[in-house]
Structure 1
Amino acid sequence: MDVFYAFSYGSAGWLALQSAPLICSPTIILALLSPEVREPTVLETYFSRSLGMALLTLAILVVLLTGSVPLTSSISDTTNARVTTEASDPKAPYAVPTLTISTVYHAACAFYCYTRFSTSGQTTFVLGTTGSAALAAIGLWCILFATSSGRISRKTGADKRTSAFPFENKEAASAKKREMEKST
């Protein structure tokens, strides 16, 4: 679950880092991305600050909806709070949908930044590609491996979701063989 927390806080940090220059100084963004240095127009300033506030809001929502910050009213509930990504968990019922949506967002941002870098050659897009791609990869890992507790068989102790392709599960086969020998 530590990777899940790392994704949640890392995603919020990355989004807050992106929002800070958009809110504080749209001129810096314009100077980094425009070939000529000029003052931003009123419309560019408005859109820059609006996007910055939207990214900051998204960062806060990712942390709150994944259950990284316990939102309980009593102190006894928060001392035993353990966030899981199970759908039935009352502390984080929206953890998996939030994880999925934010992972897709980071993957789309990484793709967009990469295509902008390949057409313009500006190194500022490499930073965006690197950060968003890293978070998309961590989010994908969390979706694949941290969203369920696994299906462990009570009889054999092996994971029920394993298959024989491309490698045979010898542990499950030997445990099944022992069970058959026990019953006869």
Structure 2
Amino acid sequence: MDLTSWNKVFYTYTYSTAAWLSLQSVTLMTGPGMIVALLLDETRPASPTEIYFARCLGFSLITMAILTVMLTGSIPLTSTIAEPVTTEESDPKAPYAVPTLIITSLFHAMSGFYAYTWYVGGGQGVFAIAVAGNSLLAFVGLWCVLFASSEGKISRRTGADRRTTGFPFSNAEAAKKHAGKKHI
């Protein structure tokens, strides 16, 4: 997979995270009473404290969505656009892309696990949707952390990734190929 395909997955993750967080925040800000009615067994109006905390959480989630898009370099923070934005660690346009990716992936994993515990305890479908959305984003984020955050360190001499070792097993085939070549 080439670097442009990895960037597409990375930006898809970034925008999906922003969309998921925005969807949750808009719901919390506009309809806290509806949220209370969905999650409780008995129907009652939402208390002022519940409304306050729901809207504050909504504001926090929309802020996190905006920061995710800005800190990953999806929106250039400079006034000139000379090159497309990349996610390399040496790129000055997106120096916080990888840390933001890791933090949002952990957030989705924790939120998915928390929703799962509520789903198992109560069996409500709202939590199943939250588990599916957060888990999907956590897995895509983990994939991006593992595979799309760097190009790797490929050795010109052997063609192998220099970040790997032979411990506890050695690669006998690579050693045979390397032993047969003479280097000048």
Give TM-score scaled by structure 2 length.
0.88
Amino acid in the other structure paired with 1:176: H
Question: Does structure 1 residue 41 correspond to structure 2 residue 41?
Answer: no
Q: For residue 148 of structure 1, what is the aligned residue in structure 2?
A: 150
Q: For residue 123 of structure 1, what is the aligned residue in structure 2?
A: 125
User: Residues of 2 paired with 1:169 and 1:60: CA distance?
Assistant: 49
Q: For residue 85 of structure 2, what is the aligned residue in structure 1?
A: 82
What is the deviation of 1:41?
1.1
Q: For residue 68 of structure 1, what is the aligned residue in structure 2?
A: 74
Q: For residue 102 of structure 1, what is the aligned residue in structure 2?
A: 104
Residues 8 and 156 from structure 1, CA distance in 2 versus in 1: closer, same or farther, beyond 3 angstroms? Answer: same
Amino acid in the other structure paired with 1:60: I
* 1:21-36 to 2 correspondences below 5 Å: 21-36=27-42
What is the deviation of 1:85?
3.5
Equivalent residues of 1:85, 1:146 under 8 A apart: no
Q: What are the Cα deviations for residues 85-141 of structure 1, in whole angstroms up to 9, with x where unaligned? A: 31x320011111111111111111001000001111111100001100111111111
User: Residues of 2 paired with 1:104 and 1:61: CA distance?
Assistant: 16
Identity level (%) = 49
What is the deviation of 1:166?
6.6
In structure 1, the gaps of 5 or more residues are: none
Equivalent residues of 2:87, 2:98 under 8 A apart: no
Specify the SS of the correspondent of 2:85: coil
Amino acid in the other structure paired with 2:83: N
Equivalent residues of 1:162, 1:169 under 8 A apart: no
In structure 2, the gaps of 5 or more residues are: 1-6
Equivalent residues of 2:74, 2:85 under 8 A apart: no
What is the deviation of 1:174?
4.5
What is the deviation of 1:23?
0.7
Q: What are the Cα deviations for residues 36-89 of structure 1, in whole angstroms up to 9, with x where unaligned? A: 112111111111111111100000000100111111112xxx241331231x32
User: Residues of 2 paired with 1:120 and 1:167: CA distance?
Assistant: 50
Count of aligned positions: 177
Determine which of 173, 176, 184 is the counterpart of 2:175.
173
Q: For residue 4 of structure 2, what is the aligned residue in structure 1?
A: none
User: Residues of 2 paired with 1:159 and 1:153: CA distance?
Assistant: 6
Determine which of 7, 19, 25 is the counterpart of 1:19.
25
| RMSD between aligned residues | 1.9
Specify the SS of the correspondent of 2:159: coil
Specify the SS of the correspondent of 2:152: coil
Amino acid in the other structure paired with 1:24: T
Residues 42 and 72 from structure 1, CA distance in 2 versus in 1: closer, same or farther, beyond 3 angstroms? Answer: same
Q: For residue 3 of structure 2, what is the aligned residue in structure 1?
A: none
